[in-house]
Amino acid sequence: MKRTRTSKAWMREHLNDEFVKLANKQGYRSRAAYKLMELDDKDKLIRPGITVVDLGAAPGSWSQVVVERLHGNGRVIALDLLEMQPMRGVEFIQGDFTESAVLKQLEQSLNSTKIDLVISDMSPNMSGVELVDQARAIHLTELALEFAVHWLQPNGRFLVKTFIGSGFDETVAATRRYFDKVMTRKPKASRDRSSEVYLLGLGRNTLM
């Protein structure tokens, strides 16, 4: 009974959400599009001619924003465990990023080409157990960072969703080893009650 009430309350909030309404009106696949728009407006991450990898891409709203802002000049590779409806200008790989075979498939698609921008909106399947969910979320952040460190070209950029809690400070410290500037962002479309924040690394350095 409690779970049913909680689900109904979530659905009411979701349907009344200003960003959900805006996404429906403007044709974006989810409200998350407005998170990336705000971050890009502030930090100028997307520019024509770059190669972008979008991790945890489904249903595809971040890829939509990237394609729009590349203006037909650039490459977008999206990956997710879930199916994503085809999108013009996006190469999609379906698979679990935590599996080595899927990572290898992604790397093969790059064909030794370094990336300009890695974006990740990955989240784990939530169990409802806070410590477990936090550990899983941090693990995904670490995997995204590891990929970015290996594949970003010098001065490349990295944007990843993570969650404040156990392991967060260590993740920020790890990111700082590889980027000239590291900042946290909380876009307006990120719900206030959520512990999610976005970790932004600018200027992949060549020291490590």
List pLDDT tens digits, range 70-122.
999 999 999 999 999 999 999 999 999 999 999 999 999 999 999 999 999 99
Residue 2 pLDDT grade (very low, low, confident, very high; cuts 50, 70, 90): very low
Cα gap 157→90, rounded to integer Å: 19
Of the candidates 34, 19, 32, 46, which has an alpha carbon nearest to the alpha carbon of residue 80? 32
pTM: 0.90
- Rounded to a whole number of angstroms, the distance between the first and last alpha carbons of the chain is 53
pLDDT at residue 10 in the model: 43
Cβ atoms within 10 Å of 12's Cβ, excluding its own: 10
Residue 8 has pLDDT above 70, yes or no: no
157 pLDDT band, cuts 50/70/90, is very high
Measured CA to CA, the distance from residue 154 to residue 167 in angstroms comes to 27
Helix H or strand E encompassing 131: helix 130-151
Q: What is the pLDDT of residues 123-139, one digit of tens each?
A: 888 887 888 999 999 99
The H or E element spanning position 200 is strand 196-204
Please pick, among 161, 181, 186, 188, the residue that the annotation labels catalytic: 161
Number of H helices, E strands in the chain: 7, 7
For residue 181, indicate whether it is catalytic.
no
Q: Are 36 and 65 spatial neighbours (Cβ–Cβ below 8 Å)?
A: yes
Local confidence band at 29 (pLDDT 50, 70, 90 cut-offs): very high
The domain defined by 30-204 folds into Rossmann fold (3.40.50)
